[in-house]
Amino acid sequence: MAARGRAPRYGHPSAARTAGTGTGAPCPRSQERGAAAYYGPHDALLLARPRGSKPLRARHAGMRSFSARPRGITNSDFRPRGRSADWPPGASILARPVAVTTAERQGRGGAGPRRESENMSENLRSSKTTSKSPKTSAKKQKGDKAKQSSKGKRKQLDKKDEVDLSMERIGHPEIFPLVFTTKTQEIFNCRVDEDVTEENCFKLIKKEDIIQDLKTRAAISDFYPVKRVVLEYPGEELLVVFDANFQYGQNFYLVASEEAKENFLKPPDTAEEKEEKSEEEKEGTLDVHAYKRSVRKPWVSLGSEKEVEEESVKGYVTKIKYMFSRARRKFGAPIRFTDRNASHVKDSYVECTSYQDTTFSIKLLERDVGVQMVPKVKEASTQTKWTYPKNAATQYSPRQLSNEEMEESLSSEKLKEFLTSVHLRMEIALQQNEIMNAFFDDWKALAEDETSSGDKSDVYLKAYQSFTDPQYLKDRSISCVRWHPTIYGIIAESATQQHSDEERINLSDKLLLQDSVIIFWSFSDPIHPQLILQCPHDIYCFQFSPSDPNIIAGGCFNGQVVLWDISKHEERLQNAKSITVGVKKSVVNMDSASVLNLLESNDTSEPSYMEDDESVTEPPLVRYCATSSTEGSHKTVITDIHWLPDHFEVNRTGTTFENRAEICIQLVTCSPDCLILFWDIRVTKLPGKLSFEKEKNIFDMPPGVPDTFKHLALSWKPLIKINLCKSDTEMEYSPIKICLLEQHHHYKILDKAQSLNKPQALARENPYAKMSVPSNKPLKVLESISNNFFVGTKDGEIIYSDWKIKIDSDSGKPVSKKPSHKYIIHDEAVNTVQISPFFKDIVLSVGGWNFAIWKEGVTDGPILESSCTAQRYTTGHWSLTRPGVFFIGRDDGNIDIWDLLKKPHEPSHFQNISKSMITCISPWIASPKQQFLAVSDDSGVLHVLEICPILSQSSSNEQANVLDYFEREVKYLKNYEKYQEFQAKERTEKELETQMEKTSAATKQKTKRDGGARKCRL
Amino acid sequence: MTELENYLFSGIPIRTTLDNSTTVQYAGLLCQLTMKARSTVRDIDPQNDLTFLRIRSKKHEIMVAPDKEYLLIVIQNPCE
């Protein structure tokens, strides 16, 4: 083809190709088109299949186009040329649906498929080149045409090629402008304005005629330039159009293609009109044509259904049929299943394992790949500079003057001047200090003044709590009250019958019926006792061991000494606050594990020996773990019991030795049976222990009782017996209260108690667990220990004696010393003999209707003796913090508070506590700011009173003042004695002169009475 | 019991009855304190001056008599 290789100037190359090449051969430049970059996205749309060429397309691409194809357009109509992959993904036939339908509609007008396709391609092309379409925008085309024509002429001249005449350049390759001379017009009957006009511009000229004309006129024929076109023209007639407006530059033009001819002749008006309309609609630039909804038209098959048919999957293999049958009798028959091992029978099971089928290998054609942008990651690090700590020190030496310089400055006039000026000032200041004590604490003095001059109403005992128990304490008298030395707010009391001793003896059978107990109370629970100690008989006195507060020694009504070990309950007492009322902690007897274990074990591990089901609120009953043997014990009630201090021990002769273990191991008891007994709680080697007794003991002991004092059981005998016989007669004293001068000082115990109260105290080992047989090593004799003691008797005497045993020269038997001194001061039984917690030699004794204060070493009598009162004094106790204060209970339920520094002759305060007799008073320091006074009465009620600060806090030099007071009293007493003696002498002389009647004894007696009178005067 | 010390005003002891280290300590500290006290008095009234300084502590009374160039420090113990 001539057109080949000629590069089109403008216009779409594909359009030129489609139309210009006409029909027949495939596009000559199809090879060039292989380059994808050459295509616009719409190219595929515009490509008409060259006739005769087989469609080339990949299956999947066809599928895609198939699915996207609009109705009426088949793949055969539009097919992508070249490789399947070249079909651009964005290119869809749908892109121009209107144009296509228009074309189709056009083609429907009876034209064959071929025509139709040609039309369509043309229409498409024209619609494609919207703005440049010659048929739509005529004006523009005109301009183009003009240019084009000139260009075309030039080219014609240059190349001398007839094809150049065609209007290919402007997109109409089938149009060839021709100049028809008048002659030619005549020959072909197309005279201007006669045969053809502007309106009727078409003239069909037969091909043969033109050929004839070319033959006859040859070169002068007007068809000569297009001779070849005419010769190649496939149809019979050629269309010549009169170009009245010189649209293509000449007066006529030849339409060289059959399709174009048809276009011009048949539907020119309608097609053009419609096309224009659609164009305008699409562009929507100027004309405002309302959108007309396309009317549904019956579907015309263009062959697409065949392709659908091809694509659909059809089964073509005959299906295999299986028939299963079974005998009728087997239906409904009972089935029996049996077990069978699958591996026993061959082929009883088939395993279907998955495997890769090599026959199918699907090539991966598409792959999803994702790319994500991430910011550049960079690692960087910096390090701060570390400065090492460094020890640095500077030292300076004080500037000092050399000796010469010093001498110089000392002798300088300036210094002398200075000293003279300063001297006076300093002297005045020093004098002031001399006159006034610069270090006198005004504030403290102010506070003391207030307390000392405080109102009487300020001094009081505030009722804090009171305890009583209807079961154990009903109609009973409280005989003894002791505070737990270490645990806060725990107080123990023992109760006895309210009868007098004589009555008790008569009613001894009945007494056994009632439980004798020691009851532990806690501040946290005023209703329920925390612990109950079982006693064989009524307890008249008991003491906590100063070394271990879990050991309690008590004196019984029948003369036995009883020991308890409450170490298992220590925790309960300590946690008394947290224990709710309902929690039962009833452990009657505990397992006999070691004491150490017991301390650790708590309520959870206890109930192994639960004997009886007590009620929920019942406190644990603790059985005594040792009693003294009845033979060795007192014959009657033990009225006082004391632990010997832990720093010494005594042997059988009363000699004091050092106590290596530093625990209290010895007890002293007294009883009205004239005996003072010393007990040792360690294992004693008594030969008189009988085997059957032993067995019996073991039998008697219920399980679970702590075995701390197992060795003592019943065979326990006193270490020393001191018989207090009156020196002159065979009468014996009946001691009620004893007071060892070598005593624990209460404040010391309290200090200890505070340290024990710490949490570590729990882990502390029971000192008594380590208690061992006294070793045979000679113990150091302690000479400094005082062996002396005061005893208050039933008859009101105060006896001063010591416990050293002397070997009687006559019989060779050990005999206790005779009491060195005895005084009859009290008119009734002494109920209190107590050493002052501040002075080791000051003793308070209470009994009958008066009290007395004694000083060891003052043999003339008490240093202070009170006048008799209307009410009986029943008990007394020193204050623990104020040396000059003591409390005395009376039988009318009052408590007298004596302050010796304030009022030595009468109680400074008194307060009613109870209706019945006060039986016991026991103070306790809970904290430096809080002190309690436990007061028990005859009716079984225990009152706990808070001591007001004025009574509990001593002033700074009270002790010294009290000591001073006592010394004064001693002096006074001595002077008085002298005076008395002197007076007595005078009197005796006088009497001797007159008559010799009076005896010296009477004089003595009188002296005593006078002494009492003297005290009253005070 | 009184103890006498004499100091140069720059804090160098001239004569002392105390041991050396205590003297140095007292001299250095009390010199500063006296200067401060003096400047306080003078700041309040420029025509005024400090004549005597008494420091009463729990344990002692320290009396300082300052002058232009010298300082006399007396430490008095309470209970004698």
CB A398 to CB B24 under 8 A? yes
CB A430 to CB B76 under 8 A? yes
DSSP A196: B
Report the candidate in A208, A163, A218, A162 with the shortest Cα–Cα distance to residue A188: A208
Token readout for A275 is 């096309």
Q: Please report residues of A whose CB lies closer than 8 A to that of B19.
A: none
SS3 content of chain A, % helix, strand, coil (to 5): 30, 20, 50
Q: Please report residues of A whose CB lies closer than 8 A to that of B2.
A: 430
Q: Cβ of A935: how many Cβ atoms within 10 Å?
A: 30
DSSP A85: G
CB B72 to CB A430 under 8 A? no
Best A396, A418, A420, A441 member to test B by mutation, with max B CBs in 10 Å, is: A418
| Beta strand A516-522 pairing with A531-535 | antiparallel
Best A395, A396, A409 member to test B by mutation, with max B CBs in 10 Å, is: A409
Q: Give CA–CA dist A412/A406, Å, rounded.
A: 10
Nearest CB partner across the interface for B78, out of A398, A399, A439: A439
Q: Please report residues of B whose CB lies closer than 8 A to that of A418.
A: 67-70, 72
Cβ contacts of A724-732, under 8 Å, gap ≥ 24: A724/A674, A724/A675, A724/A676, A724/A791, A724/A799, A724/A801, A724/A816, A724/A819, A725/A674, A725/A818, A726/A819, A726/A822, A727/A818, A727/A819, A732/A674
Q: Please report residues of B whose CB lies closer than 8 A to that of A422.
A: 65, 67, 70, 72
Answer whether residue B28 shows pLDDT above 80. Answer: yes
Q: Give CA–CA dist A115/A124, Å, rounded.
A: 14
Nearest CA in chain A to B24: A398
What per-residue confidence (pLDDT) applies to A684? 52
**pLDDT (mean) for B67-80:** 78
Report the candidate in A545, A518, A541 with the shortest Cα–Cα distance to residue A530: A518
Are A618 and A584 in contact by the 8 Å Cβ rule? The answer is yes
Nearest CB partner across the interface for A429, out of B24, B54, B69: B54
DSSP A4: T
What per-residue confidence (pLDDT) applies to A998? 58
CB A415 to CB B14 under 8 A? yes
CB A406 to CB B14 under 8 A? yes
Answer whether residue B37 shows pLDDT above 90. Answer: yes
Nearest CA in chain B to A420: B67
Q: Please report residues of A whose CB lies closer than 8 A to that of B15.
A: 406, 410
Q: How far is B37 from chain A (nearest CA, A)?
A: 17
Residue contacts between A and B (CB atoms, under 8 Å): 63
**Chain A interface residues facing chain B, Cβ-Cβ under 8 Å?**
398-401, 406, 409-410, 414-415, 418-419, 421-422, 425-426, 429-430, 433, 437-439
Q: How far is B41 from chain A (nearest CA, A)?
A: 18
Nearest CB partner across the interface for B2, out of A410, A422, A430: A430
Nearest CB partner across the interface for B65, out of A410, A426, A433: A426
Q: What is the pLDDT of residues A383-416, one digit of tens each?
A: 888 888 889 898 888 777 788 888 887 888 888 8
Nearest CA in chain B to A414: B69
Are A532 and A518 in contact by the 8 Å Cβ rule? The answer is yes
DSSP A319: P
Q: Please report residues of A whose CB lies closer than 8 A to that of B10.
A: 399
Q: Please report residues of A whose CB lies closer than 8 A to that of B11.
A: 399
Nearest CB partner across the interface for A426, out of B12, B72, B79: B72
Residues of chain A under the 50 pLDDT cut: 1-164, 270-272, 281, 284-285, 453-456, 508-512, 578-616, 685-703, 745-765, 770-775, 1011-1018
Q: How far is A446 from chain B (nearest CA, A)?
A: 18
What per-residue confidence (pLDDT) applies to A165? 55
Q: How far is A957 from chain B (nearest CA, A)?
A: 16
Nearest CB partner across the interface for A425, out of B10, B65, B78: B65
Best A397, A434, A439 member to test B by mutation, with max B CBs in 10 Å, is: A439
Q: Please report residues of B whose CB lies closer than 8 A to that of A410.
A: 14-15
Nearest CB partner across the interface for B67, out of A400, A418, A437: A418
CB B70 to CB A422 under 8 A? yes
Sign of CA dihedral A449, A451, A455, A456: negative
ipTM above 0.95, yes or no: no
SS3 content of chain B, % helix, strand, coil (to 5): 30, 35, 35
What per-residue confidence (pLDDT) applies to A579? 43
| Angle ∠(A241,A245,A250) on CA atoms, nearest 5 | 60
**Chain B interface residues facing chain A, Cβ-Cβ under 8 Å?**
2, 6, 8, 10-15, 24, 27-28, 51-52, 54, 56, 61, 63, 65, 67-70, 72, 74, 76, 78-79
CB A400 to CB B15 under 8 A? no
Best B32, B76, B80 member to test A by mutation, with max A CBs in 10 Å, is: B76
CB A418 to CB B68 under 8 A? yes
**Residue ranges in A378-500 assigned as alpha helix (H):** 403-410, 413-435, 442-452
Are A599 and A690 in contact by the 8 Å Cβ rule? The answer is no
Q: How far is B61 from chain A (nearest CA, A)?
A: 8
Q: How far is B49 from chain A (nearest CA, A)?
A: 14
Q: How far is B4 from chain A (nearest CA, A)?
A: 11
Nearest CA in chain B to A437: B78
Answer whether residue B41 shows pLDDT above 90. Answer: yes
Q: Give CA–CA dist A869/A892, Å, rounded.
A: 12
CB B65 to CB A438 under 8 A? no
Amino acid at A754: Q
Nearest CB partner across the interface for B72, out of A398, A409, A422: A422
CB B28 to CB A438 under 8 A? no
DSSP A178: E
Nearest CA in chain A to B58: A439
Token readout for A891 is 């039988």
Q: Give CA–CA dist A651/A631, Å, rounded.
A: 21
Nearest CA in chain B to A422: B65
* pTM for this predicted structure: 0.47
CB A421 to CB B2 under 8 A? no
CB B54 to CB A439 under 8 A? no
Q: Please report residues of A whose CB lies closer than 8 A to that of B77.
A: none
Q: Please report residues of A whose CB lies closer than 8 A to that of B14.
A: 401, 406, 409-410, 415
